[in-house]
């Protein structure tokens, strides 16, 4: 199985915690996974801009760029103890519901939360440098 490179937002505490869990499991079992902070990744080479990359999970499988639920499925297929979730979510019907929930609720919520956090940090920096 090819190594999957998972691009994630390391500045998002929820994303960072989830990826830390996956990373520990991958390291423990020598799973074919690599994790890269999207802020350090060559996004333009992948046909992504930062805003698009921040909106959902992305993963690179060989030359193929996966996003959203497809990226999670590829990740879970490589993780011991998570194969069952990948098989379950891939079932017809459930896959479509999962995609809808991720695309319309979870990913937008995480993106909005991340943007609010970034704006608050920028304002705090401005206040610190002004004072």
Per residue in 17-73, pLDDT tens? 999 999 999 999 999 999 999 999 999 999 999 999 999 999 999 999 999 999 999
Angle at CA 51, nearest 5°, toward 50 and 56?
100
* Residue 119 pLDDT: 86
* Residue 82 pLDDT: 95
Cα separation, 29 vs 23, whole angstroms: 10
Mean pLDDT lowest among 12-16, 36-40, 81-85, 123-127 = 123-127
Which domain, by its residues, includes 114? 4-130
- Tally of domains within the chain: 1
- State yes or no: pLDDT of 99 exceeds 90: yes
The model's confidence at residue 114, banded by pLDDT at 50, 70 and 90, is: confident
* Residue 131 pLDDT: 58
Mean pLDDT across the chain, nearest whole number?
92
With a CB cutoff of 8 Å and minimum separation 6, the contacts of 23 are 33, 35
* Residue 120 pLDDT: 84
User: pTM for this one?
Assistant: 0.88
* Residue 122 pLDDT: 78
Query: Residues 73-77: what's their mean pLDDT?
Result: 97
Cα separation, 90 vs 83, whole angstroms: 11
């Amino acid at each position: 199985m090819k190594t999957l490179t998972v691009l994630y937002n390391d500045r998002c505490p929820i994303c960072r915690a989830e990826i830390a869990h996956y990373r520990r499991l991958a390291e423990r079992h020598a799973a074919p996974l690599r994790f890269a902070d999207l802020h350090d990744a060559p996004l333009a080479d992948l046909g992504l801009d930062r805003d698009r990359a921040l909106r959902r999970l992305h993963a690179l499988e060989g030359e193929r760029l996966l996003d959203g639920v497809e990226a999670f499925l590829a990740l879970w297929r490589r993780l011991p103890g998570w194969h069952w979730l990948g098989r379950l979510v891939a079932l017809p019907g459930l896959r479509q519901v999962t995609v809808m929930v991720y695309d319309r609720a979870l990913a937008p919520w995480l993106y909005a939360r991340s943007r609010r956090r970034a704006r608050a940090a920028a304002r705090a920096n401005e206040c610190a440098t002004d004072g």
